[in-house]
Structure 1
Amino acid sequence: MDNPSIITQVTNPKEEEILSCTQDKVSQCNISLKKQRSRSIFSTLFCCFRDYNVDPPSTNSTSALPPLVEENGGLQKPPAKYLLPELTASDYGKKCVVIDLDETLVHSSFKPISNADFIVPVEIDGTIHQVYVLKRPHVDEFLQRMGELFECVLFTASLAKYADPVADLLDRWGVFRARLFRESCVFHRGNYVKDLSRLGRELSKVIIVDNSPASYIFHPENAVPVQSWFDDMTDTELLDLIPFFEGLSKEEEVYTLSSVSFGEVTPIRSATLDLPVTLYTKDNHE
């Protein structure tokens, strides 16, 4: 298993620009070859953004999981139960917020980072590799407040051998009631999709916070997209989102704050922030 396959990330635009400039200096043949190699590497490293126009699985049944979306022409065997345990008494009445890890809360790299917040050893094929982890600005405040307002679940397409120790260091307050990793995703058309219907929670009370549109293509109406974060220490997106979630926690269902105009998605804005946060409605999705 190679290093990139451990972590599922999106591409850093700065790295794409550097790669593009370098490729312009070589022959067209070499450019083609490098692009093919790049795809083979990044296909395991990144969630690919494609095939978003898909129909979500049926959610009519509440007693059993719906069939998994087909993978490579076949059907995956459904798990025996929902992904999440029964709701605890302390979380009763709260909405469930599914939070992504990489480029949403942290950025990780196998290349040394001088100002890394964590260095996590990961064993790959008998060799220990160091993963350097940067925390997104204001992630501590964000997680603590979210833990007060919601039932929080970490859901990442990365492998547990990397993501679990990172979560141990990141979540010092026990905010995440559960942690879900790559094996809990549905592999659909080259993407690791987080199928919210498999959680065991009422969909009208589930929100997903994720930088990758591929992760929530089955349930875009439940998504609060965030910008991918790599190393900008002036970033305030997580801090800016707190008032929005404080308001959402008081609503009956997550679709309440959505709005549609002539069938098009309209960004919603916090009452206290000039911050567009796109939520989609069921009517628009259908």
Structure 2
Amino acid sequence: MDHSPSIITQVTREEEENATCREEGANEVSPSKKPRSRGLLHSLFCCLCHKETEPPPAKNNAPLLVEENGTLSKVPAKPLLPQMQSNDAGKICVVIDLDETLVHSSFKPVNNADFIIPVEIDGTVHQVYVLKRPHVDEFLKRMGELFECVLFTASLAKYADPVSDLLDKWGAFRSRLFRESCVFHKGNYVKDLSRLGRDLNKVIIIDNSPASYIFHPDNAVPVASWFDDMSDTELLDLIPFFERLSKVDDIYDILQQQRTSS
């Protein structure tokens, strides 16, 4: 079983690097430690272990770059999300991460994979083995009933879109956003909630990576990174909390209470 904190950004990943990532909480590695190889799988998936120290190339739908003073290098022409559907009017918008939040994926064969996704990279098809987090089905079904749900992942669409097709049986995700919708800021792909086109007091982000919501930490419901623990109940345990949250007009007080009590 591949326990790397997310799908790797290069073909070769040394075992000691994986171990280092696990020991450091699957979030931080010394900025001076760089990947040893930039193979053909580089930049396909979101990597939470090795930080990029240079911006992505300004092509292929690269994310917006943010300057050190926090200003965007280019201004988006329109909000990331379309106008809210009439049947979602008044609902809170919940932004949900994919990798290590809902699923864990690996290029290494996994006997109990829920999905096997073929992904073409530079003319070669690679198989991606995807495990679903326990209770993800109940979680997505209920969340889709209560909220305007949006998938927002720092992975590329060529991988994340087919995974979402298989994962979301109920159409819970009204929209899907991928890496090109992120802001590249200080080596991280950040999900800037202010660009969604929704009132921030009615936006929540569920993500295992604090770097993803560094611009809006008060809107976050953090979850632990998941790899292969089939006894995990975090998504199931969150359902009652979100059922209560769906009835409030302003999410900040409830989320502050949740952070204080946890």
Q: Which bracket does the TM-score occupy, shorter chain normalised?
A: 0.7 to 0.9
Aligned to 2:27: none
Give percent identity, aligned residues only.
69
Contact 1:49 1:212 in 2 (8 A): no
Residue ranges of structure 1 left out of the alignment (5+ in a row): 7-11, 21-34, 51-66, 269-275, 277-286
Give the secondary-structure state (helix, strand or coil) at the position aligned to 1:81: coil
Partner of 1:69: 66
- Whether the aligned pair in 2 keeps the contact of 1:116 and 1:133 (CA below 8 Å) is yes
Does structure 1 conserve the Cα–Cα contact (< 8 Å) formed by 2:35 and 2:50?
A: no
Structure 2: give runs of 5+ residues left out of the alignment.
1-6, 24-32, 52-63
Structure 1 residue matching 2:253: 3-state secondary structure:
coil
Q: In the aligned structure 2, how far is the partner of 1:74 from the partner of 1:255?
A: 25
Q: Which digits, 9 at most, give the CA deviation of each residue in 1:54-82, with x for residues without a partner? A: xxxxxxxxxxxxx9632799953222100
Spell out the pairing of 1:156-235 with structure 2 (5 A cutoff): 156-235=153-232
Is the 1:110–1:130 Cα contact (8 Å) retained in structure 2? yes
| 1:97–1:150 Cα contact (<8 Å) kept | yes
Distance 1:70 1:18, change over 3 A: closer
Tell whether 2:239 aligns with 1:242: yes
Which amino acid is the alignment partner of residue 18 of structure 2? E
Q: 1:40 to 1:74 in 2, by over 3 A?
A: farther
Change (3 A) 1:97 1:161: same
SS across alignment from 1:255: helix
Report the Cα offset of residue 16 of structure 1.
1.4
Q: Which residue of 2 aligns with 1:141?
A: 138
Aligned to 1:47: 48
Cα 1:74–1:94 shift into 2, 3 Å:
closer
Q: Name the CA shift for 1:253/1:229 in 2 (closer, same or farther; >3 Å).
A: same
Over 3 Å counting, the alpha-carbon distance change for 1:130 and 1:155 in structure 2 is same
Matched position secondary structure for 1:200: coil
User: CA distance change for structure 1 residues 36 and 206 in 2, over 3 Å: closer, same or farther?
Assistant: closer
2:260 corresponds to which residue? Answer: 267
- Within 1, Cα distance between the matches of 2:132 and 2:113? 8
Q: Structure 1's 174 and 259: CA in aligned 2 closer, same or farther, altered over 3 A? A: closer
Taking the aligned partners of 1:13 and 1:267, their CA distance within structure 2 comes to 36
Matched, 1:4 2:1: no
Alignment TM-score, normalising by the size of structure 2: 0.78
| 1:254 matched to 2:251 | yes
Deviation at 1:18, TM superposition (A): 9.5
Structure possessing the higher radius of gyration over alpha carbons: 1
1:251 shift after superposition: 1.0
SS in 1 for 2:252: coil
**C-alpha contact 1:48 1:214 (8 A) present in aligned 2:** no
TM-score (norm: length of structure 1)? 0.72
Aligned positions, number: 230
Residue deviations 1:87-139 (CA, integer Å, cap 9, x gap): 11100010000000000000000110110000000000000000000000000
